Amino acid sequence: MIRNKNKLVATALLIEEIDRFGQFIYAPRGPVTDYTNQEQAQEVIRLLIDEGRKLNPKAICLRLDPAIVHDAKETKLFAKTGFRAAAKFTQVERAWMADLQPTQEAQIEWQKENGMRSNIPRYLRRAEREGVTVRSSDDPKDLEVFLKMITGLNERKNGIGLHPLDYYRQQFSALAPSGYERVFICEKDGVALASAMITVFGAEASYLWGASSDQQRDLRGPHFMHFQIMRYAQEHGCDRYNFWGVVKDENHHPGYRGYGFSEFKRSFGGYVELYLRTQDFVYRSLPYRLSAINDKRRLRSGQMD
């Protein structure tokens, strides 16, 4: 935490990470500060540069990852302070967004006007007619329903980048009691069809992870569930729903391996919000260059963009 005359002006979590070319200091989605106050934000960033050096004198760079849209004027202060765009992104860089409306009818109309696939309303009507329901929970027992489902999905897909299960449990235990995270479960006659972990903070709800079973897939439980999540978010003070990452337009085709999850999110209608690329302040040039070359290679061969 960074204070100015006892007033909190910024927060950042600094993590020491390592790749084959050395260690670096990473601030996920940080620092969190008022970027419209350019002078103060620049001072915060300079303090983090110094703090990174103290934390690990052998680090090759300080990596910042603030949630700032890519074309905001506030992004210019990073170049002014000596930062450069990283070779790869770490957090979601291209998010699919939906603006939340006051009623279900208005929500569907907004989605239609913003590119919703024509078959989605039919899916929603059928799911409702067949008695599909969605509930939200902060109960750890319900989290286990989600974990069982995502583990099954991981097995069916031969790997989806699943974290250790305690990763989800620890996050849920930290955020759910304060209302910042919920698990949603879509069911038919008590049988879970789909589930998702959602965070709610300020005016935005975010879809972190989701999974579906291989049962009664014709009921389109995931589609129905996300519309109910949007209703929940709107009723709890949110004005946007963040579906998280989608691939760029030129990669949005069936031959690209990220097409499936990207098409699912885009099928609801909405728009892309592009965030500033991860920013690096270089401490040690040679290992940084080698690391950047390796990151570019990995981006071309593996990371979905």
Q: pTM of the entire structure?
A: 0.90
**Please, what are the domains in the chain?**
2-90+276-301 (3.40.630.30), 94-273 (3.40.630.30)
Q: What is the pLDDT along the chain (305 residues), one digit of tens a residue?
A: 888 888 999 999 999 999 889 999 999 999 999 999 999 999 999 999 999 999 999 999 999 999 999 999 989 999 999 999 999 888 899 999 999 999 999 999 999 999 999 999 999 999 999 999 999 999 999 999 999 999 999 999 888 889 999 999 999 999 999 999 999 999 999 999 999 999 999 999 999 999 999 889 899 999 999 999 999 999 999 999 999 999 888 888 888 778 888 999 999 999 999 999 999 999 999 999 999 998 888 776 555 56
Residue with tokens 């099954």: 152
